[in-house]
Chain A
Amino acid sequence: MSQPAPSPFVAALLDAPLPASGIGWLDAARRENLEAFAAAGLPDTRVETWKYTALRALAQRRFAAGDAQADARDVDLSAFALPGTDGPELVFVNGAFRADLSRLRDLPAGLSLQPLSLSLRQDAEPLRFALAGRYREAGDAFARLNAALAADGVVLRVAAGARIAQPVRLLFIGAPAEADLAWHARNVVELGEGAELALVEQHASSGEQGHLGTLVGDIVLREGAKLRHAVLQDAAEGGTLVRRNSLHLAARAQAAVHVLELGGALVRHELQAELGGDGSRLDMRGVFALRGRQHVDTQLAIRHQALGTASDSVWRGVADQRARGVFRGAIVVAAGADGSDASLANKNLLLSGQAEIDTKPELEIYADEVKAAHGATVGQLDERSLFYLRSRGIPQVQARSMLTSAFCRSVFDDLPDETLREHLFAMLSRRLPA
């Protein structure tokens, strides 16, 4: 069989020069990942993990390789202010690190935070494990692309035992440019034994554009470390954003992840977690609220590998107008992960006859003494509650809005940071149908 011609999407990205690091193993990994991407292209819907997200339209688009003017783009940071996060932060505009906008001075003891480009120049070796990987799954196209082309990103380390009081913010801004472009960011986060950190990952846009952003993050929690990770995604209405965060938890480590997905035209969010150490625990909470023609695909993959591990995931989705929400929540309890406890719940509201929800919770159990449960629903607001509100004099539209908002908000009730919580609520309220 002759090789079909690469799609415009693939062809345009292959035109771009690979970032050159001068580091043998890194350049080799980048080259091989790019070759793998070129050979396989974008996955089609026959690939199980892409079943509900067709990339045909994307395959016809061309994105410029990065933004040569990224350093000069005028960005007003106050538009993305998050109350309660005035601590250390790293800002990227169209994928390029902006020292002028970042806050890296006077870092608290035990915290090391710098752009990946700088880390690679100073001491690349510790990053080898994270960056030298090859991606082999059929659904890995964007990870390959990111591994090949990401020249920058975040390297964050917390020393063993250090408890960082102020939340660290990572801000990724898409700024309008002469053409729609592709940017890539690669994050490496490591919490030492017993370390504690609150991390806010924020995606925003300083004006309408249709960029493609890819982000791959490796987050490692050593024994007993604790991470609170909040993700606020409010990318440009026309944007395409593909993110993959992989969490690795050692013994007794704990991670709590809160995700709010609001923006973007085509968004893919993969959250992979490996509970690798005995007694590790993961709590995940997420909401997507969609409208227009948005297509947001959330893929959770949780793997229980060790004794007595626990995961609890709650995800809620609202799809209005012609939007499509896709959710997959896969839990694997591997052989030997006895005594594990896994639960996952996904509830969705379908607000329009043109909208669609596809949800697929999965359980794969190979261990003993396991408690595992999942549930998923697609439906609409409870008529009795609606009637109750209306019988107390609240107009139908408002009653619907109240209930929809409550449906989403309840997911964030356990977010300990109150200012952040209130901010998420406010963002959500602006987003939901009034």
Chain B
Amino acid sequence: MTQNAFFDDSWLKLQRDYWDGLAKMGSQAMGMESSPASNSAAAPWLAAMEQWRKALAPAASDPARDFMQRLMDQGQAYFGLAEQFTKGLGDAGLGQGGDTTRAWDWLNQTIEQMQKGFSGIGADQDESLRRMLGFWEMPLDNWQRMMSSLSPMMPGDMLRNMPNGMMRGPMQEGLEQMLSAPGLGYSREEQAQYQDLMRAGIDYQRAFQAYSGFFNQLGVKALHRLRDQLQQKSEAGETINSARGLYDTWVGCCEAVYADEVITPEYSRVHGQLINAQMALKQRLSIMVDESLGAMNMPTRGELRTLQDRLQETRRENKKLRQELDQIQRRLATLPAVAPADSQAKASTGGSTTSGTSTGAAKKTSARKKTAAKPSTQPDAS
């Protein structure tokens, strides 16, 4: 057990009491029965935070609720990091004024353990370590959220939780061989479409695995960077003496490693493959949806797209003509008026339409001025 009771008792109790108080206050404010907030002995503040969020979220506006969630998530990451380091050091009896060599050993062991976590080894990490590693899930989590918003039919994490090795080795070869078998009989085309869809799904999962694999490597590099930076601070006689300082150092390391790596051609390739695979999968789904709509004698997306293109072409032409006509009218309006007698003489010979046009243009110009004075002028109603 720990040699520093503060980490086990005082600090956790302090947090638990505080968060329990907030949770109770929040629940009462919402007219709800308060429930015990700190169910988890390992991270009472985490349970309290969650309880608090649940109590307050229904009363918040959408942006505020989303924002609140982000604050909670980051609060968890922030506290989690502090917990990982301070509690770890405390447990090992290496708090303030402890044995420096042993402290470095502890740090190296912790970093090694975290590296295993990034490599998928050691599934039995403690909760605080998982939260710290979870920080590196953020870019992937952003992708999943975005993916879900684009494909309601296919939740973002649908393919994510397939076992890592599933799309490799003999199983993959067998599946791909099966999917390359030609369809037979009356439904041959339909079979081929399903095969294409499944192939696209496999390609997407492979691309996603490559993408998340890239991030796992970055996580390991960020840990190296953290160790190097702590070493540099040590040599420079600097110390981190706040949880925020530790958190900011960790974010700085992650961001610096990320910036170095995502500018590389390798990342460009992995990123491109992920987007392309996602789009190819979505395209296969769209083709099948269109097929079904067509079979029901309903307009398809493809047909609508064709109509949109044609309509836009016509509108473009109309607007251009309207603009040219406008310009001509404006120019005509600036020409000096022609004497009626002269114009009549010309009109009788059929030689010019200047007079008529000029008068017409003047009227139109006047009408245009009125129109122009009104807001909301729509030059083309098509």
Q: Do A and B come from one complex?
A: no
**Interfacial residues, chain B to chain A (CB-CB below 8 A):** none
